[in-house]
Amino acid sequence: MSQPNWIAGPQSLLGAPPYRLAGNTHNHILRAWLGAASIIAACGVVIFGLRVLEVLAGAVGGALLTNAVVALVTGKKITDQALRATLTGVLLALTLPALTSWPIALFGAVVSILIGQCLFQGWLQPALVGRIVTQAAFPGFLSVGGSMLLSPVLTPGHMIFGDIEDTERIVDYRGWLESQESTTHDAYLIQKPVRTLRQFAQNQVKPNADLRYTPLLRDLLPPWSDTVFGVVPGGIGETCTVMLVIVGLYLIHRGYLRWQLPLTVIASAALTVSILPVEVANDYRWFPALEVEQGRAVGLAYVLFHLTTGQIMLTAFLLAGDVVASPMRAHGQIIYAAFIGALSIFMRLYGVLEGECYWSVLIMNLFVGTINRQLRRPVLGMEPPSDD
Amino acid sequence: MKLLSNLLGPRQAFDGGLFLRDYKAITARRPIEWLHADGPLHIPLSVRADFPVTPVVDVGDRVIRGQRLTIPDTQAGLPVHSPISGHIARFESVWSPFDGAVPGIVIDPDGRRDAVPPVQSWADESVIGQLVEHGVVCPMSRQPLHTIIREAVRRGVSELIVNAMETEPYLTADLRTLVEDAGRVVDTTSELADALSAVRAIIAAPFRHRHVMKRLLSDAAGRMVEVAVLPDPFPQCHPHLLIKSILNREVEPGGSPLDLGVVVLPLSTVRQAAEALLDDRAVTHVLLTVAGDAVDRPGTYRVPIGMPIRRIAESIGLTGPVRQAVIGGPLTGIPMRDENAVVTIDMTAVLLFTTTEQVNPVDCIRCGWCIEDCPIGLSPPDLVRLESRATVNSIEMSHLRACIDCGLCTHVCPSQLPLSQTIKSLRDRFDGGEADRETGRR
């Protein structure tokens, strides 16, 4: 019954409150985010083939290499920031197209770490800095066969092992599964849905008599389910909406991402695209979400396409919610996320830049300090209590 | 609507706070058990080191349960009573976790159950007299209850709040009291409210354990006592936040609830007062939650004052060597400091853990978790940055004073920075210099 050493040592009797911690360390957060990003990267491998691994290797290798060099120069330990650098590398790869060559990915990673992570530490999302600079430095890397409009995706039966560069241009694209028999190549070469949507908003899509939305939805865009499952052209991690939602929910469940942020990005984007006008024959039609053609709610379909194509989902769940570069309080994150969603849609509809969501995240990153300052909480007992 | 309110709970009345995992699943269901003295008791002569007392017994005397051992020399002091019948073995210093080594008395139990009979003269004695007679102390603030009541009556009180929130993990003494003794809590609360001449008496109870509240509600029905069932994020149990939640008034930084005419008493005080007022018995035992992963049979125990904590651990059983021993809750308690510490009248819990938290602080990553969770609305990183400063301005000083030391910022910090510890040391450092310049208050 009697235990000779019931207290293990004198240090057992010391300490200061609190004695128990919640147990979520910075490393836990980074590991969870890295896991989430890796799952999306794996989806990218499935959809765009093994070529994706080359981009990933370039980005992650560049990030780790730069991190090591920076650590050597500044005299810090290499392992301090290695996890963070890896996460930045993977996130950068997720924003790049599958056809990016590895030196370009490596260049982007070097820029991400040097500028995003070392120079503007905690102010800008580093992966997006790399992505934007890469885009400016190599404007051609987004184009296939000299055309900025077209982009490939693997055909059914050729996933993972197919060659993404063995492409065939499909003019009359009916959807990922429907076009199966018509091709002997490994990949379809079709227009990115988000580009089609931009052309539509800028009145470059010919209406069919008095039907304007129906030709767009029926003939020009792939089926909506394709955009949900991700079998449409785009960046490595941009397309697979369903997996992005799942890993986002995982991060929310772990408490590393506030649910308010992705929800607000998506809600704000939906609201903006429902309101902002599309150009029709020198006329602007407001509230496109309310459009009905032949008894079909084509306006709502148009809004849903906007949400699931492009970078909205990747931005909402993985890029904007970065613990370091987003506002501190939930209220601030709501404001930040609302502007990201609205700006992204605005730039997509009327802008010329590629990567509109990435630009809007970087723009809003600049206002994080202001948002934090404006949303100070009242201290208990120092301000008069509110009336409610 | 009822389902919804059952699911969501009442509306939270203050910003911040965190719903902690509470580790009460086992202990909350175990009834209170007696832990009898099976060896000598080491009883401190005084309830607090700064109260001078005179012993009224000598070595070799036989004492019975409830017999006075010491009488106070000052009006604020309290007598100490023997928890068991036995013989006085010797006078020697004992280790109190709050005061360190203090003069004490050692009693060898003789195995009999003799006790001082209740006087039953309570009709002609005042409540304050009873409280002094039986030695009722308010734990944590460590003030005798009669001095609290005197001060409160002098300054005028409109509300009495009995704090049964117990939002810290592991602690279940108050919860078990509500389950087993709800009627006595209500009775004593109305007696104390009478003594304070308070207009309202409110018992604050946690929504998380609302199923045990039904009995409390039926006992309180038709009485002057109200029951406020509050959501239970930590640290709702702090007096300032109770006042904010129940009365929507705010205690100014560094102030006390008495400034607003409110007295907040912890349930453990009411529990002691119930013995003094209803049973006419001296306070000789305390209700202790003994829990933590090192404890084999965690639960709520009624323990005689003066029992060495080591003996409690041995009779309950340990699962392994203790690497961290805490008196009080896991977020606000004090370290045990000495292996031979004994149970004193102002303890409510002993937590024994087989692990200590290994911290490896890194730079602040500005995640904002501490800011979001701070119940007061402070920004801990900004306050910690004052460490490099020689002086602080009055706003920063009142921020430092407004901190209630709940420890939540350190608890959640992913960089494992010692935020609350630093804020506390900064307050101690700057408070001295500031006091001279201000109007001499505090």
Condensed to tens digits (0 to 9), the pLDDT of residues B15-53 reads 888 998 889 988 888 999 999 888 899 999 998 888 899
Chain A residue numbers with beta carbons less than 8 Å from the beta carbon of B380 are none
User: Min CA distance, A29 vs chain B (Å)?
Assistant: 8
Nearest Cα residue to B161 out of B234, B242, B216: B242
Q: How far apart are CA B403 and CA B60, in angstroms?
A: 50
pLDDT digits (tens, 9 = 90+) for B150-193: 999 999 999 999 999 989 999 999 999 999 988 999 999 998 99
Question: Which residues of chain B from 233 to 252 reach within 8 Å of chain A, CB to CB?
Answer: 240-241, 244, 248-252
* Distance from C-alpha of B135 to C-alpha of B116, rounded to nearest angstrom: 15
B 195-224 near A (Cβ less than 8 A): none
A206 close contact with B: CB closer than 8 A: no
Residues of A in Cβ contact (< 8 Å) with B420: 17-18
- Count Cβ atoms below 10 Å from residue B388 Cβ, excluding itself: 6
The pTM of this model reads 0.88
Interface test with B, best of A14, A19, A387 (most B CBs within 10 A): A19
Tell me if B376 and A324 make a contact (CB, 8 A cut-off).
Answer: no
Look at residue B22 and give its three-state secondary structure.
coil
pLDDT given for residue A181 in this prediction: 59
- On the question of a cis peptide bond just before residue B235, with omega within 30 degrees of 0, the verdict is yes
User: Mean pLDDT score of chain A, rounded to an integer?
Assistant: 87
Write the pLDDT tens digit of every residue in A249-262. Answer: 999 999 899 999 99
Query: Searching chain A, which residue's CA lies closest to the CA of residue B358?
Result: A21
A5, A21, A260, A387, best to mutate vs chain B, most B CBs in 10 Å: A21
pLDDT for A71 beyond 70: yes
* CB contact B255 to A (< 8 Å): yes
Residue B436 pLDDT? 46
Mean pLDDT computed over every residue of chain B: 88
Question: Going along B270-420, which residue ranges are E strands?
Answer: 285-291, 299-304, 324-327, 334-335, 349-353
What residues of chain B, 76 to 95, have a C-beta less than 8 Å from chain A? none
Q: Do A19 and B330 touch (CB under 8 A)?
A: yes
Contacts with B, A 115-144, CB within 8 Å: 122
pLDDT at A87: 95
Put simply, the chain A residues between 46 and 105 with a CB less than 8 A from any chain B CB are 80
| Separation between Cα atoms, residue B210 and residue B265, nearest integer Å | 21
Does position A341 have pLDDT exceeding 90, yes or no?
yes
* ipTM, interface predicted TM-score of the complex: 0.85
Q: Do A28 and B414 touch (CB under 8 A)?
A: yes
Which residues of B fall within a CB distance of 8 Å from A20?
169, 330-331, 353, 357, 411
Task: Report chain A residues whose CB lies below 8 A from the CB of B416.
Answer: 21, 25
Residues 347 through 376 of chain B touching chain A, CB cutoff 8 Å = 351, 353, 356-357, 359-360, 362, 365-368, 371-372, 374-376
Residue A352 tokens, joined: 């010329």
What pLDDT shows up at residue B442? 36
Q: What percent of chain A has pLDDT over 90?
A: 46
φ, ψ of residue B240 to 5 degrees: the values are: -60, -40
CB contact under 8 A, B367 and A323: yes
Of A5, A12, A26, the CB nearest to B415: A26
CB contact under 8 A, B240 and A14: no
* Cβ atoms within 10 Å, residue B7: 7
pLDDT at position A145, please? 62
Q: B358: part of which helix (H) or strand (E)?
A: none
Question: In terms of CA atoms, which chain A residue is nearest residue B333?
Answer: A17
A345, two tokens? 């849609």
Structure token digits, residue A252: 């929310």
Residue type, B93: S
Helix (H) or strand (E) holding B31: none
Cβ atoms of A266 and A317 closer than 8 Å: no
Q: Please name the member of A9, A16, A25 whose beta carbon is closest to the beta carbon of B421.
A: A16
Q: B250: distance to nearest CA of chain A, Å?
A: 5
> Residue B6 — very low, low, confident or very high, per pLDDT cuts 50/70/90?
low
The pLDDT value recorded for residue A312 is 93
Phi, psi of B162 (to 5 degrees): -95, 125
In 3-state terms, what secondary structure has residue A149?
Answer: coil
The residue ranking higher by pLDDT, B257 or A157, is B257
User: Which residues from chain B sit within 8 angstroms of residue A11, using beta carbons?
Assistant: 323, 356
What are the tens digits of pLDDT across the range B270-317? 999 998 888 888 899 999 999 999 999 999 999 999 999 999 999 998
How many contacts, defined by CB atoms under 8 Å, are there between A and B?
160
Q: Do B324 and A324 touch (CB under 8 A)?
A: no
Q: What is the mean pLDDT of residues B137-155?
A: 88
Q: What DSSP string describes A286-328?
A: --GGG--BTTB-HHHHHHHHHHHSTTHHHIIIIITT-TTTS-S
Question: Which chain A residues contact residue B366 at CB under 8 A?
Answer: 122, 324, 328
pLDDT of B440 over the 50 cut: no
Task: Report whether A241 contacts A228 (CB < 8 A).
Answer: yes
The distance from CA A89 to its chain's CA centroid, rounded to whole angstroms, is: 14
Q: What is the pLDDT of residues A147-189, one digit of tens each?
A: 667 788 888 888 888 888 888 777 777 788 776 656 678 888 8
Best residue in B23, B249, B324 to probe A by mutation, most A CBs within 10 Å?
B324
Quickly count: other Cβ atoms within 10 Å of residue A192's Cβ: 24
Name the burial class of residue B351, with classes exposed (0-12), middle (13-18) and buried (19+) by CB atoms within 10 angstroms of its CB.
Answer: buried
Contact A14 B408 (CB under 8 A): no
Which residues, in sequence order, are CB contacts of B435 under 8 Å at separation 6+? Answer: B441, B442
In a mutational test of the A interface, the residue from B372, B399, B421, B426 whose CB has the highest number of chain A CBs within 10 Å is B372
Neighbours of B200 (CB within 10 A): 16
**Please, what's the b/e burial string for A261-287 (b: 16 or more CB within 10 A of its CB; e: otherwise)?**
bbebbbbbbbbbbbebebeeeeeeeee
Q: Do A329 and B372 touch (CB under 8 A)?
A: yes
Positive/negative CA dihedral, A161, A164, A166, A168: positive
Does the pLDDT at position A342 exceed 70?
yes
The pLDDT value given to residue B80: 92
**Calpha distance B100→B325 (Å, rounded):** 15
Nearest Cα neighbor of B240 from B204, B271, B268, B216 is B204
Tell me the shortest Cα–Cα distance from A322 to chain B, in angstroms.
9
Tokens of B357: 């938290």
By C-alpha distance, which of B213, B235, B296, B335 is closest to B27?
Answer: B296
B353:A330 CB<8 A: no
* Window 90-129 of B, Cβ < 8 Å to A: none
Mean predicted confidence (pLDDT) in B321-333: 90
Q: Would you say residue B124 has pLDDT above 70?
A: no
Which contacts of A111-114 are long-range, i.e. CB under 8 A and separated by 24 or more positions?
A112/A63, A112/A88, A113/A62, A113/A63, A113/A66, A113/A67, A113/A70, A113/A85, A113/A88, A114/A66, A114/A70
pLDDT at B438: 44
Whether the pLDDT of residue B434 is over 60: the answer is: no
A351 neighbors A194 (Cβ within 8 angstroms): no
- Determine the Cα angle at B334 with ends B330 and B340, to 5°: 115
Helix ranges (H only) for B208-347 are 213-220, 239-247, 267-274, 309-316
Nearest CA among B286, B276, B263, B283 for reference residue B174:
B286
Read off the tokens for B98: 């709050």
Per-residue pLDDT, A75: 86
The answer to whether the beta carbons of residues A39 and A247 sit under 8 Å apart is yes
Give the pLDDT band of residue A315 (cuts 50, 70, 90). very high
pLDDT grade for A14, boundaries at 50, 70 and 90:
confident
Q: What is the pLDDT of residue A1?
A: 44
- Rounded to whole angstroms, the maximal C-alpha distance in chain B is 67
Q: Which amino acid is at B74?
A: T
A266: left (phi over 0), alpha (psi -120 to 50) or beta: alpha
Would the pLDDT of B123 be above 60? no
d(CA B358, CA A36): 27
* CB B140, CB B328: distance < 8 Å: yes
Do B331 and A18 count as a contact with CB atoms less than 8 A apart? yes
Helix, strand and coil percent figures for chain B, each rounded to 5: 35, 25, 45
Picking from A6, A328, A377, the nearest residue to B366 by CB comes out as: A328
Q: How far apart are CA A190 and CA A180, in angstroms?
A: 14
B296 interface with A at CB cutoff 8 Å: no
| Residue A329 touches chain B, beta carbons under 8 Å | yes
**B59-74 pLDDT, tens digit each:** 999 999 989 999 999 8
Q: Does residue A386 have a pLDDT over 50?
A: no
CB contact under 8 A, A13 and B337: yes
The C-alpha atoms of residue B394 and residue B398 are separated, in whole angstroms, by 6
Whether residue A218 is predicted with pLDDT greater than 60 in this model: the reply is yes
Residue B11 CB neighbours (<10 A): 9
Contact B416 A25 (CB under 8 A): yes
B138 φ, ψ (degrees, to nearest 5) = -90, 115
How far is Cα B304 from Cα A124, in angstroms, rounded to an integer?
60
* Average pLDDT over every residue of A215-226: 86
A-chain residue closest to B400, CA distance: A379
**What band does B234 get if pLDDT is binned at 50, 70 and 90?**
confident
State residue B393's pLDDT score: 86
Q: Which residues of B touch A6 (CB under 8 A)?
A: 310, 313-314, 318, 321-322
- Which chain A residues are Cβ-neighbours of B314 within 8 angstroms? 1-3, 6
Identify the closest residue of chain A to B394 by CA–CA distance: A382
Reply yes or no on whether the pLDDT at B439 is more than 80: no
Chain A residues touching residue B412 (CB < 8 angstroms):
22, 24
pLDDT of residue A246: 96
Average pLDDT for A343-347: 94
